[in-house]
Amino acid sequence: MARTIRQQIKQPDAFQTAGFQGMAWLQAHASHILLAGAAVLAAAGGAWGYGYWAAKNQEKASIAYMLAEEAKGPEEIEALRRTALQYPATRSGVMARLDLAGKLREGGQLPGAEQEYRIVLGSGAAVPMDKELAQRGLAAVLEAQGKCPEAVAIWREILARGSLISQEDLYLAVTSCQEKAGQPQEAAKTLEEFSQKFPRSPFLSEIHRERLDRLAKPAAKAAPASPAKPAK
């Protein structure tokens, strides 16, 4: 009996063996485990650090945008430009660029406004509303530069997608641009499409109804007359 007990003490069971093997593995791979743990901690710290930096960056951008809005004249334009350049990946930076494009457009600086609107359209920080505002502004700038086909294509794209603001004013913008481009028949079709889709629209005033009649007359004149029946 005593011999059996001594044998059991000298010969560890399976649990003890597994424990010894586990300790040996930990000792052999201690450096790798420490490196893996350090990598996890570094990743977690990096994520927290980026989140903190992004929040502070957004806060700075908001303050810069607020100060830019309070400026007047040329100082406002420069402040908006500076905010847009320093914080392009923030909402405040995108809004500053939209405001900058609008100011340039109002001041007759159409190429500069066009460039700013196109930057907003390519920005990953711009939300759908920002992009529609940029499209509308870009189309208006193109129309002012005599590029009606390009402007009409943008307005039509918004109509096909569904406007987040209003569709009715876009139909009138397309009609006006088609008239300027010397396309009265296309303008009449657009206005007719508008009146059918929005028959009770407040935009569809008597002025626009008269305009539709006026545009439809050249189209009627241009239509070929039906051949006369031969006399019996």
DSSP the chain: -HHHHHHHHHS--HHHHHHHHHHHHHHHTHHHHHHHHHHHHHHHHHHHHHHHHHHHHHHHHHHHHHHHHH--THHHHHHHHHHHHH-TTSHHHHHHHHHHHHHHHHTT-HHHHHHHHHHHHT-TT--HHHHHHHHHHHHHHHHHTT-HHHHHHHHHHHHHH--SS-SHHHHHHHHHHHHHTT-HHHHHHHHHHHHHH-TT-TT--HHHHHHHHHHHHHHHHHSPPPPPPPP-
- Lowest-confidence range among 5-9, 23-27, 127-131? 5-9
CA 57 distance to own-chain centroid: 20
Full domain range(s) for residue 135:
61-163
* Tens-digit pLDDT profile for residues 165-224: 999 999 999 999 999 999 999 998 998 899 899 888 887 776 666 776 776 665 555 545
**Domain endpoint, select from 163, 181, 200:** 163
In whole angstroms, give the CA distance from residue 94 to residue 119: 9
Q: Which residue has the higher pLDDT, 192 or 46?
A: 192
Residues 170 and 77 occupy one common structural domain: no
pLDDT for residue 232 is more than 50:
no
Domain annotation covers residue 36: no
Let me know if residue 99 belongs to a domain.
Answer: yes
The pLDDT, as a whole number, for residue 27 is: 65
Read off the pLDDT of residues 96-140 as tens digits, 9 standing for 90 and up: 999 999 999 999 999 999 999 999 999 999 999 999 999 999 999
Q: Is the dihedral of CA 18, 21, 27, 31 positive or negative?
A: negative
pLDDT for position 58: 86
Output the six-digit token pair for 31: 């450096």
- Tell whether 174 is covered by a domain: yes
One domain, residues 183 and 203: yes
Spatial contact of 101 and 113, defined as CB atoms under 8 Å apart? yes
Six token digits for residue 138: 């870009």
Total-model pTM: 0.69
* AA identity, residue 91: R
Q: How many domains does the chain fold into?
A: 2
Q: Using an 8 Å Cβ cutoff, are 134 and 126 in contact?
A: yes
The domain that holds 138 is classified in CATH as: 1.25.40.10
What angle is formed at CA 215 by the lines to CA 211 and CA 218, rounded to 5 degrees? 150
**113 and 197 part of one domain:** no
Same domain, 66 and 88: yes
In a domain, 53, yes or no: no
Is 175 within a domain? yes
User: Do residues 89 and 130 both lie within one domain?
Assistant: yes
The answer as to whether 119 is a domain residue is yes
